[in-house]
Structure 1
């Protein structure tokens, strides 16, 4: 587990975050350029090492987050902390209304769409939802296993 000071040093390597002191010697770090209403990325970082990172509804963290989209980072090491901070900033940087659509095809000519919408990578066949994934890597792995290649 990283100390409060170590977590601060890692967080402050992200120049897009702005530190704001709050009560009880705790800190919040804001991402002012957020495309969402939410701007706080790191919430209530406490001198005892406890704190939270906002990841919204990213499926990648669904087993770690609470109902407010916060993940407790108390026991995070440097690598995990950097990863979740990058994911949180990326999440808040993306327009939640703008889907990403990729066309995929199999050797037999079947076509399928991989669509990033509402924080999920969804696989559609003829407008029917076939599968949903928390990361693009998982979705791509599935499509390749099924014999599809990106067009």
Structure 2
């Protein structure tokens, strides 16, 4: 487990975060450029190493997050901590109005669409939702395993 000091050093490598001291020697780290009301990325980081990162409703962290969209980072290693913080910043800076749609085809000529909607990556056959993924990488892996290729 990383110490409080080590976690602070890692968190402070993200220049877009602002440190704010709160009660009981705890600190929060805010992302002031958030597109949403929520600005706290790292919440209640405590000298005992406990703390939380806000990831909202990202499917990638669905099993780790509580009902407020917070993930406890007490036992995170450096790589996991860096990844979740970057995901949180991306989550709060993502413009949900920009659609991403890709056409994927199989050898048999079947076409699926990969659509980025809100924070999910959805695969559609015609207008029917087939699968939902928390990351683009997971959706692409699924499509490739099923024999689909990106249509050019």
SS of the equivalent of 2:142 reads: helix
Output one character per residue of 1:65-104: Cα deviation in whole Å (capped at 9) or x when no partner.
0000000001111111011111111111101333321111
Counterpart of 1:14? 14
RMSD: 1.0
Counterpart of 2:100? 100
Counterpart of 2:49? 49
Shift of 1:7: 0.3
TM-score normalised to structure 2 length: 0.95
Structure 2 Cα separation of the partners of residues 99 and 72 of structure 1: 31
Count of residue correspondences? 151
Structure 2 Cα separation of the partners of residues 115 and 99 of structure 1: 7
Gaps of 5+ in 1: none
Counterpart of 1:126? 126
Counterpart of 1:145? 145
The ranges of structure 1 where at least 4 consecutive aligned residues each deviate by more than 6 angstroms after the TM superposition are: none
Structure 2 Cα separation of the partners of residues 110 and 49 of structure 1: 51
SS of the equivalent of 2:15 reads: coil
SS of the equivalent of 1:25 reads: coil
Structure 1 Cα separation of the partners of residues 31 and 14 of structure 2: 10
Structure 1 Cα separation of the partners of residues 83 and 139 of structure 2: 19
Q: How do 1:40-119 residues align onto structure 2 when only pairs under 5 Å count?
A: 40-119=40-119
Gaps of 5+ in 2: none
SS of the equivalent of 2:122 reads: strand
TM-score normalised to structure 1 length: 0.96
Structure 2 Cα separation of the partners of residues 35 and 107 of structure 1: 41
